[in-house]
Homo-oligomer: A and B are copies of this chain.
Amino acid sequence: MKSLKIGVCGVGNVGGAVIENLTLSPDTVEFNGGVKIEILQVGARKGKSAVPYNVEVSTDLMEVSQNPDIDVFVELIGGCELAKELIEKSIKNGKNIVTANKALISTHGDELFNLAKENGVQIGFEASVAGGTPVIKALREGLVANKVKWFAGILNGTTNYILSKMTDENSSFEDALKQAQNLGLAEADPTMDVDGTDAAQKASILSALAFNTPFDFSSVAYGGIEKISSDDILYAEQLGYSIKHIAYGSIENGEVNVSAYPTFVSKDQLLSQVGQQMNALEIYCEDIGSTVYYGPGAGPKPTASAVIADLVDISNGGWPVLDNNSKKNQFSKQGNEKFSRYFNLEVKNEAGAIAKVSSLFAKKDISIEALIQKESKQNIDPQNYVPVVIISGKISDLQALAMLKEIESMEEINKSVKQFRIHNAI
């Protein structure tokens, strides 16, 4: 049987699950994958006490990068600085890399893949997107014969859990977030999940593979779910949609748009049915249409599953090396892609106010596909505003933002207006 000698840096939840799987039940991988994976060294700054397994532990992580007996360096410490340094050192020492580090790959991917190519080694990063659901494998291997036109994914489990709770149990955003934190599905500081950063990083990685763009997180437009209220969830329901946080990328004439925003998804779409903390990715290709991949997007065991799959792949020769020197497709100016939109506003309960809003849309040549006007909240709202929801025709992000400002500047309008995309379903 083949053997593969690895070093693992990082013994948090994911590192722990990788070490546990490979030391306690190596038979599964040996049988399924035909390779004996030996952990030669573990890098853990806290030392041996943090690693309850019979493996050599070094508190000097750099030592693992330099260990001449190691074939693959597994980076599971996260973050962009030390992780990058360790990976670069390992590559220069001729080691293949497996990492779950989406922040690093989405920002420094090109640099790292170039270095890997120069040194004749490979970088596996299946675990960086959608955890235990093998979406990177599907995208670059399973769909290798196809041109991807667009992808749409629920790539952040925390926000999907929160939105699902808000939908299924009428929880408030704050309560749903608290529940997610209690269940370990959200960090104490949940910013990176809730504000869309995490999903945008993953979208950037998918874009590089699907559309041959640079790995460039800074070109991804994104927003979070903080502003979504129970009202929005109810309106979505009435209109036949679920609200999901959707990472969306598309290519048209070589121009690539990638973004990650809360989005209305029609209930007849599979993505709208993805509940709890699950992830799903829909990939639409020119000749074959949509394929969808659904599964656990985070957590120690699913992430470890992806890390180990990469290790087995490396033992079998790895993947086609990413061609970083070919001319890359560039990201378009943010927001050229057009979507129908949901606008949620409160209009003064007085004659002609709604007509004024409508005529603003008409003036901007934006069609109104639907308008819901609820009864006045007279009893509870001293200022006597009427909630109004408008579904517009397809407009770009820039048009939508401009419209938002115009509406907000009207004196008949209360509070800040909300606007969300409606997914361009097939």
Contacts and interface: CB of A to CB of B under 8 A. Distances in A.
Interface of A: 21, 28-29, 31-35, 126, 132-134, 137-138, 140-147, 212, 270, 273-274, 285, 287-296, 299, 301-302, 304-306, 308-309, 312-313, 316-321, 323, 326
Given A289-B296, A296-B288, A305-B287, A312 B141 contact: yes
Contacts of A146: 28, 305
B34 A320 contact: yes
A292 B297 CA distance: 12
24 contacts: A21-B145, A28-B147, A29-B145, A133-B291, A134-B143, A138-B142, A141-B141, A141-B312, A141-B313, A142-B306, A142-B309, A143-B305, A144-B312, A145-B305, A145-B308, A145-B312, A270-B274, A273-B273, A287-B302, A287-B305, A292-B292, A294-B294, A316-B317, A316-B318
Nearest to A32: B144
Contacts of A294: 270, 290-294
A312 B302 contact: no
A312 B320 CA distance: 9
Contacts of A312: 141, 144-145, 320
Contacts of A270: 270, 273-274, 294
B137 A309 contact: no
B317 A144 contact: no
Nearest to A295: B291
A212 B30 CA distance: 13
Contacts of A288: 132, 295-296, 299, 301-302, 305
B296 A295 contact: no
Given A33-B320, A137-B137, 17 more contacts: A28-B146, A32-B140, A32-B145, A33-B144, A34-B320, A126-B142, A134-B141, A141-B309, A144-B308, A270-B294, A273-B273, A287-B302, A288-B302, A290-B295, A291-B293, A293-B294, A317-B318
Contacts of A316: 317-320
Given A273-B270, A294-B292, A305-B287, A138 B138 contact: yes
Contacts of A326: 31
Return the 9 tightest CB-CB contacts between A and B, nearest first.
Answer: A134-B142, A317-B317, A291-B295, A34-B320, A145-B308, A292-B294, A132-B288, A287-B301, A288-B302
Contacts of A141: 134, 137, 141, 309, 312-313
B32 A320 contact: yes
Contacts of A285: 305
A380 B308 CA distance: 63
Given A291-B294, A296-B289, A316-B318, A29 B304 contact: no
Contacts of A296: 288-289, 291
A59 to B, nearest CB: 28
B290 A292 contact: no
Contacts of A292: 292-295
A326 to B, nearest CB: 7
Contacts of A291: 132-134, 293-296
A309 B144 contact: yes
Contacts of A287: 21, 301-302, 305
Given A291-B294, A295-B290, A323-B34, A28 B309 contact: no
A21 B33 CA distance: 31
